[in-house]
């Protein structure tokens, strides 16, 4: 009995680990978002709906610089994370909206972004050290985000760095279609989740 119980526990733990690999493959440890949505998807409940596709804004700003941009896959959505280590959630502002064409701040230069629709992502944090002007994020204007591989993503199709101008970092995110999205400001990061569908199904 003890041996069979130990074997059962081992199977459950192995299954839990596999589930974590699949569901929690997010780019950053966003506990509230992952635990709520991840468990819902795992239990067969529909994915969250009601995010909408209208622009989302949070009025705030920080001089703490952007250090990294990452992506991750979730059962219900694809995720983009802009890392601003040391910045408090209350100081992280953003402006995220669908655009017909991404234009670089300052120069107005158009930047081509692949996909059926384009999200402009602006985070109110510089991609450089304000005191020196030295870059803190290695993105190159008009080029894909360094280190980001979108192979196998259901929603994301392309990423582009548009630059950092007057304390804001601007990105282009190409997605499959104009899909609902949400934006979360948390300590040290801004998170953009784009749903896989409008229907709330996985």
Domains of the chain, residue spans: 2-195
Rounded distance, CA 102 to CA 111, Å? 5
Tell me what pLDDT residue 48 has: 84
Are 198 and 176 spatial neighbours (Cβ–Cβ below 8 Å)? Answer: no
Rounded distance, CA 12 to CA 60, Å? 44
β-pairing verdict for 168-175 and 181-186? unpaired
Q: Residue length, the chain?
A: 202
Q: Domain 2-195 belongs to what topology? A: Immunoglobulin-like (2.60.40)
Note the Cα 138 to chain centre separation in Å: 18
Rounded distance, CA 167 to CA 100, Å? 24
Are 129 and 103 spatial neighbours (Cβ–Cβ below 8 Å)? Answer: no
Structure token digits, residue 61: 């700003």
Residue 56 forms beta bridges with which residues? 96
Tell me what pLDDT residue 14 has: 39
Tell me what pLDDT residue 202 has: 66
3-state helix, strand, coil in the chain (%, to 5): 20, 35, 50
Over its C-alpha atoms, the chain yields an Rg (Å, rounded) of 18
Tell me what pLDDT residue 44 has: 56
Residues of the chain with pLDDT under 70: 1-45, 201-202
This prediction's pTM: 0.78
């Amino acid at each position: 009995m003890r041996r069979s119980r130990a074997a059962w526990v081992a199977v459950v733990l192995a299954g839990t680990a596999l589930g974590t690999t699949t569901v929690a493959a997010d780019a950053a440890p966003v506990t509230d978002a992952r635990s709520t949505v991840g468990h819902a998807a795992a239990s067969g409940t529909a994915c969250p709906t009601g995010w909408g596709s209208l622009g989302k804004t949070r009025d705030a700003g920080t001089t703490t610089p952007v250090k990294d941009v990452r992506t991750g896959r979730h059962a219900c959505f694809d995720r983009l994370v802009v890392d601003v280590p040391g910045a408090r959630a209350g100081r992280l502002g953003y402006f995220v909206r669908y655009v017909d064409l991404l234009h670089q701040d300052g120069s107005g230069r158009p930047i081509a972004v692949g996909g059926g629709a384009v999200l402009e992502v602006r985070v109110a944090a510089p991609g450089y050290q304000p005191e020196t002007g030295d870059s803190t994020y290695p993105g190159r204007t008009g080029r894909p985000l360094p280190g980001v591989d979108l192979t196998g993503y259901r929603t994301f199709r392309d990423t582009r760095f548009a630059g950092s101008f007057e304390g804001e970092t601007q990105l282009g995110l190409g997605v499959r279609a104009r899909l609902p999205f949400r934006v979360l400001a948390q300590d040290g990061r801004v998170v953009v989740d784009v749903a896989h569908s409008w229907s709330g199904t996985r």
